[in-house]
Structure 1
Amino acid sequence: MVGLAAGASIGFFIKPTPEIALANPCGEGGGDTVQIEPSPAAPEVDPNSEFVKINNQFVIPIVRGERVTALVVLSLNLEVISGNREAVYLREPKLRDEFLQVMFNHANSGGFDGVFTQTSRLTNLRRALREVATSILGDVVHDVLVTNIVRQDQ
């Protein structure tokens, strides 16, 4: 036992340290630069799109029986074709109303219960939000992004 513990300790302390390549933040002279290639699985961002932050967070109550048992707070951004920021803000009251209805339905069907950040649950929520955004703004909407999500149990 003692030999095993000693061997493990020695191995931990003499393991080689990984090399770290440093780059000059100005990109000029001295130091090695590291080229970072995008992951092949990483989605490409359309250069003709922009992100529009929906003002104010969404607060969704989780109701069980006759009682609010938790609150979910969400922040959203819309990815739209460039030049449509003003169109989003002009229709924001309608977007907020419809988005809230989608989120209330999601909450009432148990979408915010348990592991509510599970990919399949958030994918279903995003899909429903995108459908609503497209019905209001048309084809200028590429996607709806959930930028923050928090659940506070009471």
Structure 2
Amino acid sequence: MAKLIPILVLVICAALGLTAGKFLRPPPAEPAESVSEEIDGEKPAEEAETSEQEPEGTSPDRDYVKMNNQFVVPIVTDNRVSAMVVLSLSIEAPLGKEDDVLRREPKLRDSFLRVLFTHANIGGFDGEFTSIEKLGGLKRALKEVGQRDAGADLVKDVLIVEIARQDY
């Protein structure tokens, strides 16, 4: 009986954590009508006056810093590695701040790996691991730890550039 008490406490805590996570999740953000409206706070012009425009999704005042190595995350099932997930990440940073990001790369890699391992342990890479819901939660978590460790002024976003899963 004494051996069952820690197991019961663990199961109850896990259930409470999952329930709290479900009910405390913020509502999904409503998409803005356009990117420029979201950035500038005003509606864009109907027609552009010049033909020279930035391609959609790019920002002239941002650098994209590729992390030097891929992230390898083991998927453990029944005490054995059943799959490996390999990811390549990039950091969206202000223009000219690439060296600052690279100087903080060891700390960022450590924090990103912790997030990726946690995501794997809760089943984030099982089933349809490329769904918007699963990848959206992962991207939010990566961005949060990146901004915590390097600063929100340096890490504007974390981009998942490549992702692959190899089952064994």
Alignment-mate amino acid for residue 148 of structure 1? E
SS in structure 2 at match of 1:103: helix
Alignment of 1:93-112 (within 5 A): 93-112=106-125
1:89-125 Cα distance to aligned partner (Å, 9 max, x none): 1111111110000000000000000000001100100
Q: Which residue of 2 aligns with 1:153?
A: 167
Deviation at 1:136, TM superposition (A): 1.4
Larger Rg, first or second structure (1 or 2): 1
User: Does 1:73 pair with 2:94?
Assistant: no
Counterpart-to-counterpart distance in 2, 1:141 and 1:48: 13
2:157 to 138, 143, 149: 143
RMSD of the alignment, in Å? 1.8
What's the offset of the Cα at 1:51?
Answer: 0.2
Per the normalisation by structure 2, the TM-score is 0.65
Q: State the secondary structure of the residue aligned to 1:117.
A: coil
Do structure 1's residue 114 and structure 2's residue 114 form an aligned pair?
no
Kindly tell me the number of residue pairs found equivalent between the two proteins: 116
* Identity over aligned pairs, percent: 52
Q: Distance in 2 between matches of 1:45 and 1:142?
A: 13
Structure 1 residue 51 corresponds to structure 2 residue 64: yes
Q: Does 1:92 align with 2:127?
A: no
Where in structure 1 are there 5+ consecutive unaligned residues?
Answer: 1-34
Partner Cα distance (1:100, 1:123) in 2: 17
Unpaired runs of at least 5, structure 2: 1-50
Question: Which of 146, 155, 160 in structure 2 is aligned with 1:133?
Answer: 146
Q: Which residue of 2 aligns with 1:18?
A: none
8 A Cα contact 2:67 2:91, kept in partner: yes
3-state SS of 2:156 partner:
strand
CA distance, structure 1, for counterparts of residue 76 and residue 121 of structure 2? 8
State the 4+ residue runs in structure 1 displaced beyond 4 angstroms. Answer: none
